[in-house]
Amino acid sequence: MKKRIATAVALLCCLLALLFFWRLGTAARKQTLQLYIWSEYIDPAILTAFEKATNSRVVVSVYESNEDMIAKLRGGGVSQYDIVVPTDYVVPNMVELGLLQPLNKNLIPNLRNLDEKFVGLPFDPENTYTVPYQWGTTGIGYRKDRLPENFERSWGLIFDPKQQYGPFVMIDEMRSMLAAAAFYLGFDPSTTVPAELQQIQELLIQAKRRSAGLIGGVGGKNQLVSGTANVAVVYSGDALQAAEENPNIGYFVPREGAHIWLDVMAIPAKAPNPELANRFINFILDAEVGAQLSNYNRFATPNAAALPRINPRDRQNPAIYPDETTFARLKYLKVLSQEQLRLVDAVWTAVKSS
């Protein structure tokens, strides 16, 4: 009897030991964060630091336009990715389509670090679904060594054949290019008036035919650096990165006005690891990390606590942090209804197929 008891106890101890080590192994197993983000938009060192801090692994996938990102989510990516980085004006449509889930603000105490002017904006008034990531403008990058000193700082470099200085490229991003054409024509950058959209369509088609093409994301920046293009429609931070590679590259906000945008972090509705996603958002909002992010990619930070840590040269650069005169020419794009989106999408389809 004692032998049987001893055997049973020994077996029980073995089972408990196996259970203990199984749980220990499970706890130690690295979690994976699937990050879906614009190309060249985060310092790899930040990802390494997050992996170390959370015993996790970050897998990065990239896109070059909001339209591509939304199409991917609608095609099944909503259950594949943990973090996406959309631009402000597409957020309401993503919520309407059921692509995003509410944030767990209990896991994001660093929300307190945000600048008040980037909190509670109309596209997400309670910041239920999004947290600011970076902000900037969409303007014109150019080669200083190939344009005359006294050229007109206008969207005419793209849309007026008389102001064309050699090859130029347009950005393959629907709302940005429609807004650029609208600014040049004197229209609201978010116009959906049919007659105005027709003029925008004709202007974009003419420009596209004279251009070296529509290029997504950082493509315009790379064309400027290589010298393939003399002028390009680019995001402000990309132009500044290009200037680091080639000092002959400049950037300006056209006199007619330009699009100011805010990219935000959000969690897809069926993210496989939402808790880790919330912790990633909180990590990015840390003051030191926020400054590291903007010092790396040369876009402006919405993180007030990070501002004192921004490279002084960047902090004083009006291409990154516009002065009051320039800021007055900037406009956020309005949120469009599904019907309005169909109108502008039809224009963009006609442009791309021309």
* pLDDT, tens only, 35-92: 999 999 999 999 999 999 999 999 999 999 999 999 999 999 999 999 999 999 999 9
| Superfamily for the 29-133+264-321 domain | Periplasmic binding protein-like II (3.40.190.10)
| Phi–psi pair at 140, nearest 5 degrees | -120, 125
For 136-260+331-353, which CATH class?
Answer: alpha beta
Query: What are the start and end residues of each CATH 3.40.190.10 domain in the chain?
Result: 29-133+264-321, 136-260+331-353
Q: What tokens appear for 198 in the block? A: 């027709």
Mean pLDDT of 129-138: 97
What average pLDDT does this structure show over 312-323? 93
Say yes or no to pLDDT of 4 above 50: no
Strand-strand pairing, 330-331 and 258-266: parallel
User: Under DSSP, is residue 115 helix (H, G, I), strand (E, B) or coil?
Assistant: coil
| pLDDT for res 349 | 97
> Does the pLDDT value for residue 27 go beyond 50?
no
pLDDT at 326 over 70: yes
User: Residue 308 to residues 28, 94, 241, 288: CA-CA distances in angstroms?
Assistant: 37, 34, 21, 10
Note the pTM of the prediction, 2 decimals. 0.86
